[in-house]
Amino acid sequence: MRDQASALRQIVDNLKKQRTREPGQGARVLCVTSGKGGVGKTSISVNLGISLAKKGLRVLLVDADFGLSNIDVMLGVSPPYDLSYVLRGQKRIRDVLAEGPGGVMFVSGGSGMNELLNMSEIQLAAIIDNLLLLEDTADVIIFDTGAGVNPLIMRMVRASAETVIVTTPEPTAIMDAYALVKSITKYSPECELRLIINRAESVSEAEMTLQKFMSVVRLYQKVEIDRLGYVLNDPAVSRGVRIQQPFVLSYPRSAATRNIEAIAWNLLDRKPESPENGLQAFLAKVFKKNDDMR
Ligand SMILES: Nc1ncnc2c1ncn2[C@@H]1O[C@H](COP(=O)(O)OP(=O)(O)OP(=O)(O)O)[C@@H](O)[C@H]1O
Ligand SMILES: [Mg+2]
């Protein structure tokens, strides 16, 4: 037991110390999450990823909605292996990297990932080592998570330097998004939060929802949430899902595509402020011992 624990500690220490690049130079890690399910996280992750790839960035999408993985369905590509093979030690991370349309790379989550938190230190150490290979593969790594209720998702959200919160203007989605923001600011005040309103009926509804949410968070949580943008309710989104072709590719002139483009430019405009970014810092925090992280 002692050997196992010290093996992990050593790897985590190395993650912190032995940076192969300067702080802030590693892959930019974004977690896309929401309070309520079904608000558009996967649609936004996939299309934003493709939009960034079109601008010349190397983008890796990680389907981290373990158990309900569907990035591959939206991309219309079904790779033979997923992350669970890496976790079981049957494949290397490079074997599960797949190429999606529009120049994005992606990794499917697969089921059983929640067992990650119960893994032995040695298993975790091997996985971290393996996942770190991804740092040099991408400029931006987007983790598409499930809704923020499960402990592993909360860990990922709290570990990432930048978290993108997606909500629709519906009061139920807004309440859940607010509860999530509250929890993140309580446990990870250093996490940079960015906001996207999805499925707004009009630009004015989108603007009003953005403003209201931001001011409530400012007033009661004393933090600034960055306004990343909005995506209008647009039939191109669900049509794209149905034909398994992301809308930025199948409907390049749609309103939703214009909205995603604007979000992509906004994202490129922002520089993560925390020196603790990059995949190394992310993994070190995700795999921190349970008692260090509520
Ligand atoms: N802007 C939009 N306009 C129209 N329809 C949309 C829009 N965004 C999402 N949808 C519809 O909502 C459905 C659910 O979206 P999506 O799967 O991206 O949500 P999710 O938040 O990832 O869900 P889950 O919590 O289950 O992972 C999509 O299949 C699509 O049909
Ligand atoms: Mg999803």
CA of 199 to the centre of ligand 1 (A): 9
| For ligand 1, atom 3: residue with the closest CA | 233
Which residues pair with residue 198 across a beta bridge?
231
Give φ, ψ of 147 to 5 degrees: -70, 145
Distance between Cα 147 and ligand 1 center (Å): 12
Do 132 and 86 touch, CB atoms closer than 8 A? Answer: no
Q: Which helix (H) or strand (E) holds 92?
A: none
Q: What is the CA radius of gyration of the chain?
A: 18
| Residue 128, in any domain of the structure | yes
Alpha-carbon distance of 189 to 184, in angstroms, equals 7
Question: Residue 6 sits in which domain range?
Answer: 2-18+25-289
Does the pTM of the predicted model rise above 0.85?
yes
**For residue 1, what is the enclosing H or E element?**
none
Residue 80 inside a domain? The answer is yes
Residue 294 lies in a domain: no
Express each pLDDT in 59-100 by its tens digit.
Answer: 999 888 766 668 999 999 989 988 878 877 888 888 889 999
pLDDT band at residue 8 using 50, 70 and 90 as cut-offs: low
Please count the other Cβ atoms lying within 10 Å of the Cβ belonging to residue 49: 32
Nearest by Cα to 277 from 135, 165, 177: 135
Count CB atoms within 10 A of the CB of residue 292: 7
Tell me whether residue 182 is in a domain.
Answer: yes
pLDDT band with cut points at 50, 70 and 90 for residue 10: low
**How large is the average pLDDT for residues 144-162?**
80
Assess if residue 132 is contained within a domain. yes
Q: Give the whole-number percent of the chain exceeding pLDDT 70.
A: 81
Residue 201 has pLDDT above 60, yes or no: yes
Kindly indicate the confidence band of residue 212, based on its pLDDT and cuts at 50, 70 and 90. very high
Strands (E), the chain: 28-34, 59-64, 98-99, 105-107, 140-147, 162-167, 192-200, 226-232
Report which bound ligand comes closest to the CA of 196: 1
Kindly identify the ligand whose nearest atom is closest to the C-alpha of 229. 1
87 within a domain of the structure (yes/no): yes
Ligand 1 atom nearest residue 198's Cα: 1
Q: How confident is the model at residue 2 (pLDDT cuts 50, 70, 90)?
A: very low
Question: Does residue 177 fall inside a structural domain?
Answer: yes
Looking at residue 148, what is its pLDDT? 67
pLDDT digits (tens, 9 = 90+) for 235-286: 999 999 999 999 999 999 999 999 999 999 999 998 877 666 788 888 878 7
What residues are in contact with ligand 1 under a 6 Å CB criterion? 34, 37-43, 65, 68, 146-147, 198-199, 231, 233-234, 237-238, 241, 256
**Closest residue CA from atom 18 of ligand 1:** 40
Nearest residue to 145 (alpha-carbon basis) of 128, 163, 127: 163
| Ligand closest to the CA atom of residue 198 | 1
How much distance in Å is there from the Cα of 31 to the middle of ligand 2? 12
pLDDT reported for residue 293: 46
Tell the residue number behind the tokens 């509860």, with chain if given. 179
Q: Which of residues 205 and 146 earns the better pLDDT score?
A: 205
Going from the Cα of 44 to the center of ligand 1, the distance in angstroms, rounded, reads 8
Q: SS3 of 155, please?
A: helix
Choosing from 44, 201, 241, 243 the residue with most ligand 1 atoms within 8 A of its CB, the one to mutate for a pocket test is 241
Phi then psi dihedrals of residue 216, to 5 deg: -65, -45
Higher pLDDT, 147 or 68: 147
Mean pLDDT, all residues of the chain: 85
Of the listed ranges 18-27, 79-88, 147-156, 267-276, the least confidently predicted one is 18-27
> What's the number of domains the chain is made of?
1
Query: Residue 133 is part of a domain; what is its CATH number?
Result: 3.40.50.300
